Amino acid sequence: MKTTAAVAFAKEQPLEIVEIDLDEPRATEVRIRMVASGVCHTDAIVRDQWYPTPLPAVLGHEGAGVVDAIGSSVTKVAVGDHVLLSFDHCGECANCAAGLPSYCTNFFGANFGGRRADGSSGFSLGGEQISSHFFGQSSFAEYANVSVNSVVKVSKTAPLEALAPLGCGIQTGAGAVLNSLNPAAGSSIVIFGAGAVGLSGLLAAVIANCTTIIAVDVHESRLTFARELGATHTINAAATADVVKEIQKITDGGAQYALETTGVPAVFTNMTKALAVRGHAVVVGAAALGTNANFDIGSLLPMGITVTMVVEGDSVPSQFVPQLVDLYERGLFPFDKLTKQYAFADINQAFDDSAAGITLKPIVIF
């Protein structure tokens, strides 16, 4: 069948909305009619080829939609079910079997490879295959064949347009706090970067009853917003001589927990220095391959700190996404305050507004 899609044809160039061909869903796939998709920083960095997904490609990995057809071995969902889409994983390797699907041994191939495991693509243009199955989904298309392992079923009354970004950016920030750090009530946490991921982590720190929540960013408007969402302290790193000292002052020696969402080497270094003895930091900010940060072994060893590199908030999407939906519906996780909706036709504006910091989390509506 034909479908409309936003195609990344060339590095650092705007996406182009064109009509492409979609094949039939394979046995373990479902065809989704996309209702909405979040736009994540990873879509932009893959468009810009920080990671080598072959172009042309249909990107998009925070899809939300309705099941339009199912493959022959699919039992998890039926036609007409409403679903949110998340990352793909094989479901069979040791890490998947251990309940750690974001560390699937084929995570890179399944999510960034641009092809199914059998080498085929779901999409073609002018008879040539183009990359599909980005994060198992390629949600910047009105219709896509999606890996069943990327699919999370939600209630038919769930507002798909609002919930779309749960499957990546929002679960990454919230999961980093609730799953990876699991901070004790009454503890201190510092969050570097008040973007969509950092602020999702901040909302999760509020849920976890952290009582000192420090947001660090270089934009005053984001820090003001962070305070509205529950930050007890904010630090403008562009206007503060020594960010580490400031965190140590607020926390009386160092933060018990930290979340690093920027991918900036100097911020990583500050994060390690800002921790309390035995503090725990998680790093989720994507950086270009080859990005290195300083880590002062001499000073840090006696601190006994832990730094964990975390993918997708250590989430098991089929469990964690519904938990986030419940929290949202109860008014305890108002992540929709971070979002702004755009018509699908305006997808490049959504990318530009995100890059300029005008919009924290764009959602395109089909």
Residues in Cβ contact with 223 at an 8 Å cutoff, skipping those fewer than 6 apart: 194, 215, 217, 231, 234, 235, 236
Closest separation in Å from C-beta 197 to ligand CXF: 9
Q: Determine the residue with CB nearest ligand CXF.
A: 42
- Binding partner of 202, given Zn ion, ligand CXF, none, CB within 5-8 angstroms per partner class: none
**Tokens 């996406």 belong to residue:** 15
Closest separation in Å from C-beta 116 to ligand CXF: 19
Closest separation in Å from C-beta 101 to Zn ion: 15
Verify binding: residue 22, Zn ion, rule CB under 5 A.
no
Verify binding: residue 270, ligand CXF, rule CB under 6 A.
no
End-to-end CA distance of the chain: 17
Tokens of 253: 């020696």
Verify binding: residue 39, Zn ion, rule CB under 5 A.
no
Closest separation in Å from C-beta 188 to Zn ion: 28
Closest separation in Å from C-beta 28 to Zn ion: 22
Burial (0-12, 13-18, 19+ Cβ within 10 Å), 326:
exposed
- The torsion angles phi and psi of 212, rounded to 5 degrees, stand at -120, 110
Between CA 26 and CA 10 the distance in angstroms is: 28
Verify binding: residue 286, ligand CXF, rule CB under 6 A.
yes
Using the rule CB under 5 A, give the single segment among 48-56, 120-128, 143-151, 164-172 that binds Zn ion.
Answer: 164-172
- Binding partner of 311, given ligand CXF, Zn ion, none, CB within 5-8 angstroms per partner class: ligand CXF
Verify binding: residue 311, ligand CXF, rule CB under 6 A.
yes
In this complex, which beta carbon is closest to Zn ion, that of residue 137 or of residue 187?
Answer: 137
Verify binding: residue 170, ligand CXF, rule CB under 6 A.
no
Closest separation in Å from C-beta 321 to ligand CXF: 14
Between CA 312 and CA 329 the distance in angstroms is: 22
167 and 325 in contact (C-beta within 8 Å)?
no
Choosing from 35, 36, 40, 160, the residue that interacts with Zn ion (CB under 5 A) is: 40
Q: Determine the residue with CB nearest Zn ion.
A: 40
Verify binding: residue 40, ligand CXF, rule CB under 6 A.
yes
From start to end of the chain, where are the E strands? 2-8, 16-22, 29-38, 57-58, 63-70, 82-85, 123-125, 128-130, 143-147, 151-154, 188-192, 212-217, 233-236, 255-260, 275-283, 306-309, 339-343, 361-365
Three-class SS state of 144 = strand
Verify binding: residue 267, ligand CXF, rule CB under 6 A.
no
- Binding partner of 364, given Zn ion, ligand CXF, none, CB within 5-8 angstroms per partner class: none
269 and 294 in contact (C-beta within 8 Å)?
yes
Number of residues this chain uses to bind ligand CXF (CB under 6 A)? 6
Verify binding: residue 39, ligand CXF, rule CB under 6 A.
no
- The torsion angles phi and psi of 218, rounded to 5 degrees, stand at -110, 0
Between CA 362 and CA 162 the distance in angstroms is: 10
Verify binding: residue 168, ligand CXF, rule CB under 6 A.
yes
Closest separation in Å from C-beta 327 to ligand CXF: 21
Verify binding: residue 168, Zn ion, rule CB under 5 A.
yes
Closest separation in Å from C-beta 73 to Zn ion: 28
- The torsion angles phi and psi of 76, rounded to 5 degrees, stand at -70, -35
In this complex, which beta carbon is closest to ligand CXF, that of residue 67 or of residue 96?
Answer: 96
Residues in the site for Zn ion, rule: CB under 5 A? 40, 42, 168
